């Protein structure tokens, strides 16, 4: 990248995690001159120790989801001493998806009306139909 090309950017996306990477890709596909800025490195899949025998040890040290434990050069400390909630975050291309291997099923209309149908919690202020096109475009 040259200094001139930086001036020709229409949109700067901060962070190449799940949302930032998806947004960058979508904007680029639409012809927008977009740049994605990430403070961490690329992590090759073979560097992630999920299939190694020492995975449990690595998860408690250099591959901890908590930056206060992990202490990579690109990490920054998080004040978490006075809360039981500990961070799950990763600074690098892919963001916390590097640490978080979870399945997120799609919403169903019922999910937005749990109070009306099950008498628990509160219904969402939005309905399924209002968000359906957004979630479909995110998935595809």
Give residue-wise pLDDT tens across range 78-119. Answer: 888 898 887 778 888 888 887 776 667 788 899 999 999 999
Tens digit of each residue's pLDDT (9 = 90 or more) over 34-43: 999 998 888 8
User: Per the structure block, which two tokens stand in for 64?
Assistant: 């901890």
Interior angle at CA 120, CA 119 and CA 125, nearest 5: 95
Structure tokens at 89: 């975050």
- The answer to whether residue 33 scores a pLDDT higher than 90 is yes
More confident call, 22 vs 99: 22
Q: Per-residue confidence at 139, pLDDT binned at 50, 70, 90?
A: low
């Amino acid at each position: 990248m040259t200094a001139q090309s930086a001036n020709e950017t229409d949109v700067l996306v901060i962070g190449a995690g799940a949302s930032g990477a998806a947004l960058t890709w979508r904007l680029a596909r639409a012809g927008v001159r977009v740049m994605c800025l990430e403070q961490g490195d690329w992590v090759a899949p073979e560097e992630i120790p999920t299939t190694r025998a020492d995975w449990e040890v690595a998860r408690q040290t250099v591959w901890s989801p908590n930056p206060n434990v992990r202490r990579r050069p690109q990490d920054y400390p998080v004040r978490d001493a006075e809360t039981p909630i500990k961070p799950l975050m990763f600074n690098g291309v892919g963001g916390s998806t590097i640490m978080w291997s979870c399945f997120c099923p799609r919403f169903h209309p019922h999910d937005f009306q749990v109070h009306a149908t099950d008498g628990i919690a509160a219904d969402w202020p939005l309905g399924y139909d209002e968000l359906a096109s957004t979630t479909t475009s995110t998935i595809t």
